[in-house]
Amino acid sequence: MSASAATRRHVLPGFGVSLGVTLAWLGLIVLVPLAALAIRPWELGVAGVIRTLAEPRVLAALRLSFGAALLATAIAAPLGLLMAWVITRYHFPGRRVLDALVDLPFALPTAVAGLALTALFAPNGWLGVPLAAIGVQVAYTPVGVVVALVFVALPFLVRTVEPVLRDLSPEAEEAAATLGATRPQTIRRVVLPTLWPALLTGFGLGFARAVGEYGSVIFIAGNVPMVSEIAPLLIVTKLEQFDYPAASAIGLAMLLMALLILFGLNLWQRALRRGRA
């Protein structure tokens, strides 16, 4: 097929321009810079990269970042499901306000969120005082990291589950009821299975955001090395020491691990959809 034939294949005009702009935009802003990240660590040699990542402080930071992100998203999942259920299924005064507030973490700058959570959970904060009374300290501990990440991940879960729940026709549930299913049976066997793929999508989005989160975390975390220091902060520290290769090694490791987990979630979700089809 000649070049002219290939271009006239498109019915609507503007293919060349729009794809050109898209590729330039994507290439210059995203792909070339990410290529720099993929290349830079190897100045250290393979052994050097492994040595950098095997440093106890680096390992501890990666463990905290990924562990806290997974835990926080796992906590946010049932909470998000509950919120989505309440927003879509029930009518009560203030539902609209609740609905709008869910997006707050999307719209609130991360540094503000971090500051706010710190003020709230600090030993003299509104929630810090009662929590201290029962012997729980949130601010300046790994618990604080998890709390901040739940805040960040929650809207992703609500907003991905919500449309599916809204579109779910009541007829399927009514059919289940006519067939003699109890309400819990209906929810477990009819409603939840259709929500799984959306929940997984939301989990992936929330996790991706949480694992790299910086602004909402660093104020509340206390940033004690080996205890409450997250990986992104360690990257900043390395950069401030002008240790570019180490910073990029940690960055690359983070990015690859995150993408791997997202890819795994994607496969799981595909298997679920296939199983249903």
Partner 1 sequence: MSGAAIADPRSLRWLAIATAVVLTVAILLLPLAAVFAEALRRGWEPALEAILDEDSLAAVRLTLLVAAIAVPVNTIGGIAGAWAITKFDFPGRRLLITLIELPFSVSPVISGLVYVLLFGAQGFLGPWLREHDIQIIFALPGLVLATVFVTFPFVARTLIPLMQEQGRDEEEAAATLGAGGWDIFRRVTLPNVKWALLSGVLLCNARAMGEFGAVAVVSGHIRGQTNTMPLHVEILYNEYMFVGAFAVASLLALLGLVTLGAKALLEALARRRMGDAA
Partner 2 sequence: MTVEVVNVVRRFGATAALEGVSLSLRPGEFAALLGPSGSGKTTLLRILAGLDFPDGGEVRIAGADVAAVPARERGVGVVFQNYALFRHMSVAENVAFGLRVRARAHRPPEAEIQRRVRELLELVQIPELAGRYPEQISGGQRQRVALARALAIEPQLLLLDEPFGALDALVRKEVRRWVRGLHERLGITSILVTHDQEEAMEMADRLAVMEAGRIVQFDTPRALLEAPATAFVAGFLGEATRLLVRIQGRVARASEFGLEDIAVELPDGEALLFLRPHEVRIEPAHAAQGVVRFVRPEGAGGARVLAEIGGRMIEGISTTEPARGDACRIRLLSGTVFHSEGGQFRWQRQEAWATR
Site for partner 2 in 9-28 (CB under 8 A): 9, 11, 13
What sign for the dihedral angle of Cα 164, 169, 174, 179? negative
Stretch that binds partner 2, among 5-13, 115-123, 221-229, 252-260 (CB under 8 A): 5-13
Residues that contact partner 2, how many (by CB under 8 A): 7
Binding to partner 1 by residue 236, rule CB under 8 A? yes
Q: How far is the CB of 6 from partner 2 (least distance, A)?
A: 10
Specify whether the CB–CB gap between 173 and 98 falls below 8 A: no
- DSSP classification of residue 4: H
Binding status of residue 208 toward partner 1 by CB under 8 A:
yes
Smallest gap, in angstroms, from Cβ of residue 35 to partner 1? 9
Biggest distance spanned by C-alpha atoms of the chain = 77
111 binds, among partner 2, partner 1, none (CB under 5 to 8 A by kind): partner 1
8 binds, among partner 2, partner 1, none (CB under 5 to 8 A by kind): partner 2
The one segment of 7-15, 22-30, 153-161, 263-271 that binds partner 2 by CB under 8 A: 7-15
Side-chain half-sphere CA neighbours of 13 within 13 A: 0
The tokens for 176 are: 């289940």
* Residue with Cβ nearer partner 2 (5 or 46): 5
Which residues, in sequence order, are CB contacts of 233 under 8 Å at separation 6+? 61, 214, 217, 218, 221, 223
Tokens describing residue 10: 């498109």
Decide if residue 103 touches partner 1 (CB under 8 A). Answer: yes
Nearer to partner 1, 236 or 271 (CB): 236
How far apart are the C-alpha atoms of 76 and 156, rounded to whole Å? Answer: 9
Binder to partner 1 among 55, 59, 63, 106 (CB under 8 A)? 106
| Among 45-53, 55-63, 112-120, 137-145, the segment contacting partner 1 (CB under 8 A) | 112-120
- How many residues in total does the chain contain? 277
- The CB density around residue 6, as the number of other CB atoms within 10 Å, is 9
Contacted entry of partner 1, partner 2, none for residue 5, CB cut-off 5 to 8 Å set by kind: partner 2
d(CA 231, CA 246): 12
Q: Of 8-16, 21-29, 65-73, 82-90, which segment contacts partner 2 by CB under 8 A?
A: 8-16
164 binds, among partner 2, partner 1, none (CB under 5 to 8 A by kind): none
Burial level of 178, CB count in 10 A (0-12/13-18/19+)? exposed
- Is 44 a binding residue for partner 1 by CB under 8 A? The answer is no
CA distances to 65, 86, 94, 165 from 89, rounded to whole Å, are: 35, 5, 14, 8
**Is residue 3 at the binding interface for partner 2, with CB under 8 A as the rule?**
no
Q: Which of residues 177-196 bind partner 1 (CB under 8 A)?
A: 177-178, 183, 186
Give dist(CA 155, CA 102) in Å, integer. 6
Interface with partner 2 (CB under 8 A):
1, 4-5, 8-9, 11, 13
